[in-house]
Amino acid sequence: MTLRFGPWSVRLAPRALLVGAVLLVVGFAVTVAALATGEFTVPVPDIVGALFGQGTPVAELIVGKLRAPRVVTGLLVGAAFGLSGAIFQSLTRNPLGSPDFIGFTAGASTGGIVAVIAGGSAMVIAGGALAGCVVTAALVYALAYRGGVAGYRLVLVGIGANALLLAVNSYLLTRANINDAATAAAWLTGSLTGRGWDHAGPVALALLVLVPLCAAIARPLRMIEMGDDAAKAMGIRVETVRALAIAAGVLLSGVATAAAGPVAFVALAAPQLARRLTRSAGVTMGASALMGAVLLTAADLAAQRVLAPTQLPVGVLTAAIGGTYLVLLLRKERH
């Protein structure tokens, strides 16, 4: 189905639209459940009133100041991770081409650990994580560049950088004092605990700026998936599009990691699950972002409510789910 707006046209896949609508409904249901449930149950009408500043003082405290910032941060961070994973899986034409595996998340972790050891505040730690992700991406891009950046080179160089950075992170933790090491270890698991509007704001701003860029390069990226020569024959400026895509993916991954820590496997699993639901020939960015938001928010809800009173950090649960998914993915690829 194609919609035309003067000289512009937009192609819409009915199944992708249906999947997107279902994910929106599921995301809304998970959001309401996260806002309503807990040690103090808040009825849905009180939630609506609290969000618009017309609820009871207790509801406004619980919903507006305690639960809503955490839920919104989870939705935005999940969307950012899902979109970042979709970009890199499209660039590399590899289901393992996510920030978790090609070193960017590990680089963000290194920056965060250094900031913790230096005694930085929460905002300094977030800035360190973003800087670490950007520096790592620049180094990986430079090492993988040979008259262009082929997907397999990006994956191989990224895996090597990831292994090296994990070793650096372990070394930094062993050299830190026990309090800094404990703080860094807790941050490295990935968590939404204590997240406020100051964490959600930068992620929302990044999505506001980068989502239109991702929408603009989505079609050229699909062309590049067919090979550089074919894309160039259709007039695609391959290296320009690839550089823009890498910049967008790195910034999305870095901002998300800065807000919630290196939450594992969301960037890996969300695009692949979205692709299977939409039955798309390639990675779908919109569905991947929605899937990432639903996955992370649902995992955090399960970690808080289903596993209560344990209340695991969300990164532990996503790692367990993502590890299982990775085993199934590798088993399917083997066949």
**Closest Cα partner for 198 from 130, 250, 123, 253?**
123
Q: Name the packing angle between helices 197-224 and 68-92 (round to 10°).
A: 20
* Local structure of 305: helix, strand or coil: helix
Rounded to the nearest angstrom, the gap between the alpha carbon of residue 31 and the centroid of all alpha carbons in its chain is 18
pLDDT (tens digit per residue) in 137-163: 889 888 887 766 666 778 888 888 888
pLDDT (tens digit per residue) in 71-111: 999 999 999 999 999 999 888 887 777 888 888 888 999 99
**Closest Cα partner for 315 from 78, 71, 67, 63?**
78
To which residue do tokens 């070193």 refer? Answer: 103
Per DSSP, helices labelled H in 189-284 are 197-224, 228-233, 238-260, 266-278
2-12: b or e for each residue (b if 16 or more CB lie within 10 Å)? Answer: eeeeeeeeeee
The pTM of the whole model exceeds 0.75: yes
Task: Tokens for 109, please give them.
Answer: 């972790």
- What residue ranges define each of the domains in the chain, with the CATH number in brackets? 13-334 (1.10.3470.10)
Residue 90 CA neighbour count, 13 Å, CB half: 31
- Please provide the average confidence, as pLDDT, over all residues in the chain: 84
Reading the chain (335 residues) residue by residue, the pLDDT tens digits are 555 545 555 566 777 888 889 999 999 999 999 988 888 888 888 888 877 777 778 878 888 888 889 999 999 999 999 999 999 988 888 777 788 888 888 899 999 899 888 877 778 888 888 899 999 988 988 888 776 666 677 888 888 888 899 999 999 988 888 888 888 888 888 888 888 888 899 999 999 999 999 988 888 888 877 777 777 787 888 788 888 888 899 999 999 998 998 888 888 888 888 888 888 776 788 899 999 999 999 999 988 877 756 667 888 888 887 777 777 766 765 55
